[in-house]
Protein backbone atom coordinates (compact mmCIF):
# COMPACT_ATOMS: atom_id res chain seq x y z
CA UNK A 1 0.00 0.00 0.00
CA UNK A 2 1.43 3.37 -0.94
CA UNK A 3 1.34 6.16 1.66
CA UNK A 4 -1.40 8.81 1.53
CA UNK A 5 1.23 11.55 1.63
CA UNK A 6 4.72 11.02 0.30
CA UNK A 7 7.21 13.86 0.56
CA UNK A 8 10.71 13.64 -0.86
CA UNK A 9 13.56 16.06 -1.24
CA UNK A 10 11.45 19.13 -0.38
CA UNK A 11 13.64 22.20 -0.37
CA UNK A 12 12.80 25.87 0.09
CA UNK A 13 15.11 28.87 0.31
CA UNK A 14 14.17 32.39 1.37
CA UNK A 15 17.11 34.54 0.35
CA UNK A 16 20.04 33.19 2.34
CA UNK A 17 17.84 31.08 4.65
CA UNK A 18 17.26 27.44 3.78
CA UNK A 19 13.87 26.97 5.43
CA UNK A 20 13.50 23.36 4.23
CA UNK A 21 16.43 21.21 3.12
CA UNK A 22 15.79 17.89 1.44
CA UNK A 23 12.88 16.82 3.64
CA UNK A 24 11.71 13.23 3.30
CA UNK A 25 8.80 11.63 5.13
CA UNK A 26 5.55 9.85 4.49
CA UNK A 27 2.16 9.49 6.13
CA UNK A 28 0.01 6.40 5.91
CA UNK A 29 -3.75 6.59 5.72
CA UNK A 30 -5.24 6.78 9.23
CA UNK A 31 -1.97 7.71 10.86
CA UNK A 32 -1.17 10.63 13.18
CA UNK A 33 2.26 12.00 12.32
CA UNK A 34 3.83 14.64 14.55
CA UNK A 35 6.31 17.30 13.47
CA UNK A 36 8.62 18.77 16.08
CA UNK A 37 11.54 21.16 16.05
CA UNK A 38 12.68 24.40 17.64
CA UNK A 39 11.48 27.82 16.47
CA UNK A 40 12.51 28.48 12.89
CA UNK A 41 13.18 24.78 12.17
CA UNK A 42 11.00 24.95 9.07
CA UNK A 43 7.82 23.25 10.30
CA UNK A 44 5.29 25.78 9.01
CA UNK A 45 7.25 26.13 5.76
CA UNK A 46 6.83 22.39 5.24
CA UNK A 47 3.04 22.84 5.50
CA UNK A 48 3.23 25.82 3.13
CA UNK A 49 5.00 23.64 0.55
CA UNK A 50 2.65 20.66 0.94
CA UNK A 51 -0.49 22.81 0.66
CA UNK A 52 0.68 25.00 -2.23
CA UNK A 53 0.96 28.27 -0.30
CA UNK A 54 4.64 28.39 -1.24
CA UNK A 55 6.47 26.88 -4.21
CA UNK A 56 9.35 24.53 -3.41
CA UNK A 57 12.79 25.02 -4.95
CA UNK A 58 13.12 21.26 -5.20
CA UNK A 59 11.52 17.96 -4.30
CA UNK A 60 8.02 16.57 -4.72
CA UNK A 61 4.79 15.90 -2.88
CA UNK A 62 2.63 12.90 -3.77
CA UNK A 63 -0.93 12.53 -2.56
CA UNK A 64 -2.20 9.01 -3.04
CA UNK A 65 0.56 8.52 -5.58
CA UNK A 66 -0.40 11.63 -7.60
CA UNK A 67 2.05 14.47 -7.95
CA UNK A 68 0.54 17.60 -6.37
CA UNK A 69 3.80 19.57 -6.12
CA UNK A 70 3.24 23.27 -6.63
CA UNK A 71 -0.49 23.06 -7.35
CA UNK A 72 -2.56 26.02 -6.20
CA UNK A 73 -3.85 25.91 -2.60
CA UNK A 74 -7.51 25.73 -3.66
CA UNK A 75 -6.83 22.73 -5.90
CA UNK A 76 -4.94 20.92 -3.16
CA UNK A 77 -7.71 21.65 -0.69
CA UNK A 78 -10.28 20.27 -3.14
CA UNK A 79 -8.25 17.06 -3.26
CA UNK A 80 -9.06 16.64 0.43
CA UNK A 81 -6.13 18.30 2.17
CA UNK A 82 -7.00 20.96 4.77
CA UNK A 83 -4.72 22.90 7.05
CA UNK A 84 -4.87 25.21 10.01
CA UNK A 85 -2.68 28.29 10.26
CA UNK A 86 -0.35 29.04 13.14
CA UNK A 87 -1.10 32.74 12.81
CA UNK A 88 -4.83 32.97 13.41
CA UNK A 89 -6.62 35.40 11.17
CA UNK A 90 -10.34 34.94 11.67
CA UNK A 91 -12.70 37.46 10.07
CA UNK A 92 -13.19 39.28 13.34
CA UNK A 93 -16.33 41.12 12.26
CA UNK A 94 -18.08 37.95 11.12
CA UNK A 95 -19.79 35.56 13.49
CA UNK A 96 -18.23 32.23 14.39
CA UNK A 97 -20.67 30.38 12.14
CA UNK A 98 -20.03 32.75 9.23
CA UNK A 99 -16.28 32.21 9.57
CA UNK A 100 -16.71 28.46 9.25
CA UNK A 101 -19.20 28.81 6.38
CA UNK A 102 -16.47 30.65 4.47
CA UNK A 103 -14.35 27.49 4.84
CA UNK A 104 -17.20 25.19 3.86
CA UNK A 105 -17.98 27.27 0.76
CA UNK A 106 -14.59 26.28 -0.62
CA UNK A 107 -16.17 22.90 -1.25
CA UNK A 108 -19.80 23.56 -1.97
CA UNK A 109 -21.64 26.47 -3.50
CA UNK A 110 -24.85 25.41 -1.77
CA UNK A 111 -25.44 27.70 1.21
CA UNK A 112 -27.61 25.23 3.10
CA UNK A 113 -24.99 22.48 2.79
CA UNK A 114 -22.25 24.93 3.81
CA UNK A 115 -24.21 26.05 6.88
CA UNK A 116 -24.99 22.45 7.92
CA UNK A 117 -21.37 21.49 7.53
CA UNK A 118 -20.25 24.57 9.48
CA UNK A 119 -22.55 23.77 12.40
CA UNK A 120 -21.42 20.14 12.38
CA UNK A 121 -17.77 21.25 12.58
CA UNK A 122 -18.54 23.72 15.35
CA UNK A 123 -20.29 20.99 17.32
CA UNK A 124 -17.29 18.74 16.78
CA UNK A 125 -14.87 21.30 18.27
CA UNK A 126 -17.37 22.15 21.03
CA UNK A 127 -17.89 25.74 19.96
CA UNK A 128 -21.57 25.56 19.09
CA UNK A 129 -22.63 27.78 21.98
CA UNK A 130 -20.48 30.60 20.56
CA UNK A 131 -21.88 30.26 17.05
CA UNK A 132 -23.58 33.67 17.04
CA UNK A 133 -20.71 35.54 18.70
CA UNK A 134 -18.35 37.65 16.66
CA UNK A 135 -14.96 36.03 16.17
CA UNK A 136 -13.35 39.01 17.89
CA UNK A 137 -15.08 38.00 21.14
CA UNK A 138 -13.32 34.62 21.31
CA UNK A 139 -10.40 33.71 23.58
CA UNK A 140 -7.18 32.30 22.07
CA UNK A 141 -8.27 28.73 22.82
CA UNK A 142 -11.65 29.33 21.21
CA UNK A 143 -9.99 30.91 18.17
CA UNK A 144 -7.86 27.77 17.81
CA UNK A 145 -11.03 25.70 17.85
CA UNK A 146 -12.62 28.01 15.31
CA UNK A 147 -9.59 27.59 13.05
CA UNK A 148 -9.88 23.83 13.38
CA UNK A 149 -13.62 23.96 12.64
CA UNK A 150 -12.94 26.04 9.52
CA UNK A 151 -10.53 23.38 8.24
CA UNK A 152 -12.81 20.50 9.19
CA UNK A 153 -15.73 22.09 7.35
CA UNK A 154 -13.87 21.16 4.17
CA UNK A 155 -14.39 17.47 5.08
CA UNK A 156 -10.70 16.67 4.56
CA UNK A 157 -9.20 13.20 4.41
CA UNK A 158 -5.87 14.70 5.47
CA UNK A 159 -5.58 17.58 7.90
CA UNK A 160 -2.38 19.47 8.68
CA UNK A 161 -2.57 21.21 12.06
CA UNK A 162 -0.05 23.91 12.93
CA UNK A 163 0.35 24.21 16.71
CA UNK A 164 -3.29 23.93 17.71
CA UNK A 165 -2.35 23.66 21.40
CA UNK A 166 -0.03 26.70 21.38
CA UNK A 167 -1.18 29.37 23.85
CA UNK A 168 -4.09 27.21 24.98
CA UNK A 169 -4.78 26.46 28.67
CA UNK A 170 -4.23 22.98 30.08
CA UNK A 171 -7.93 22.12 30.28
CA UNK A 172 -8.51 22.94 26.62
CA UNK A 173 -5.45 20.88 25.68
CA UNK A 174 -7.13 17.77 27.09
CA UNK A 175 -10.13 18.52 24.87
CA UNK A 176 -7.95 19.03 21.82
CA UNK A 177 -6.22 15.70 22.39
CA UNK A 178 -9.60 13.96 22.57
CA UNK A 179 -10.61 15.73 19.39
CA UNK A 180 -7.57 14.57 17.44
CA UNK A 181 -8.17 10.99 18.58
CA UNK A 182 -11.80 11.27 17.50
CA UNK A 183 -10.66 12.49 14.07
CA UNK A 184 -8.42 9.45 13.79
CA UNK A 185 -11.36 7.23 14.77
CA UNK A 186 -13.32 8.76 11.92
CA UNK A 187 -10.57 7.82 9.49
CA UNK A 188 -9.07 11.29 9.03
CA UNK A 189 -5.30 11.29 8.61
CA UNK A 190 -3.53 13.89 10.74
CA UNK A 191 -0.17 15.65 10.52
CA UNK A 192 0.40 17.92 13.48
CA UNK A 193 3.10 20.43 14.30
CA UNK A 194 3.33 20.43 18.06
CA UNK A 195 5.62 22.02 20.61
CA UNK A 196 4.08 20.24 23.58
CA UNK A 197 6.11 17.02 23.92
CA UNK A 198 3.56 15.36 26.20
CA UNK A 199 0.82 15.92 23.66
CA UNK A 200 2.80 14.68 20.69
CA UNK A 201 4.25 11.65 22.49
CA UNK A 202 0.73 10.68 23.45
CA UNK A 203 -0.84 11.16 20.03
CA UNK A 204 1.67 10.50 17.28
CA UNK A 205 2.20 7.15 15.60
CA UNK A 206 5.41 8.55 14.13
CA UNK A 207 7.32 11.79 14.58
CA UNK A 208 9.45 13.83 12.18
CA UNK A 209 12.02 16.06 13.88
CA UNK A 210 13.42 19.08 12.05
CA UNK A 211 16.33 21.28 12.93
CA UNK A 212 17.45 24.33 10.93
CA UNK A 213 15.38 23.16 7.98
CA UNK A 214 16.79 19.62 7.97
CA UNK A 215 15.15 16.35 8.96
CA UNK A 216 17.13 14.90 11.88
CA UNK A 217 14.90 11.95 12.83
CA UNK A 218 11.75 10.17 11.65
CA UNK A 219 10.17 7.20 13.38
CA UNK A 220 8.35 5.94 16.47
CA UNK A 221 7.94 8.60 19.21
CA UNK A 222 10.20 6.88 21.77
CA UNK A 223 12.89 6.35 19.17
CA UNK A 224 12.80 9.97 18.00
CA UNK A 225 12.77 11.33 21.54
CA UNK A 226 15.90 9.43 22.48
CA UNK A 227 17.76 10.30 19.27
CA UNK A 228 20.89 12.27 20.38
CA UNK A 229 20.46 14.85 17.59
CA UNK A 230 16.89 15.51 18.75
CA UNK A 231 17.88 15.77 22.40
CA UNK A 232 20.59 18.28 21.45
CA UNK A 233 18.63 20.31 18.95
CA UNK A 234 15.11 20.25 20.25
CA UNK A 235 14.75 19.26 23.86
CA UNK A 236 17.68 21.47 24.82
CA UNK A 237 16.14 24.60 23.33
CA UNK A 238 12.68 23.84 24.66
CA UNK A 239 14.05 23.45 28.19
CA UNK A 240 15.97 26.70 27.74
CA UNK A 241 12.88 28.47 26.51
CA UNK A 242 10.58 27.10 29.22
Ligand X SMILES: Nc1ncnc2c1ncn2[C@@H]1O[C@H](COP(=O)(O)OP(=O)(O)OP(=O)(O)O)[C@@H](O)[C@H]1O
Q: How many residues belong to the chain?
A: 242
Least gap, CB of 210 to ligand X (angstroms): 7
86 interacts with ligand X by CB under 6 A: yes
Residue placing its CB nearer to Mg ion in the complex, 41 or 96:
41
By CB under 6 A, how many residues form the interface with ligand X?
12
Would you tell me which residues interact with Mg ion (CB under 5 A)?
A: 43-44, 86
Residue placing its CB nearer to ligand X in the complex, 55 or 226:
55
Q: Which does 42 bind (CB under 5 to 8 A by kind): ligand X, Mg ion, none?
A: ligand X
**Exposure letters 77-101 (e unless 16+ CB within 10 A, then b):** beebbbbbbeeeebeeeebbbbbbb
* Binding pattern for the stretch 165-204 against ligand X, x by CB under 6 A and - elsewhere: ----------------------------------------
40 interacts with ligand X by CB under 6 A: yes
Least gap, CB of 38 to ligand X (angstroms): 7
Least gap, CB of 42 to ligand X (angstroms): 4
User: What residue ranges bind ligand X (CB under 6 A)?
Assistant: 14, 17, 19, 37, 39-45, 86
Amino acid sequence: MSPLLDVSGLTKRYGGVTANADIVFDVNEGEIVGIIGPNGAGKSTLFDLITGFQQPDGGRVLLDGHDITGLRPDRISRLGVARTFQKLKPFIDLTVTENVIVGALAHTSDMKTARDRALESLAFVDLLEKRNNFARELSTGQRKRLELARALAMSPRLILMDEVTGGVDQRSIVGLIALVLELKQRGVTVVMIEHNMQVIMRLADRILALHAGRPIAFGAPEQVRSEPAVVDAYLGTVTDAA
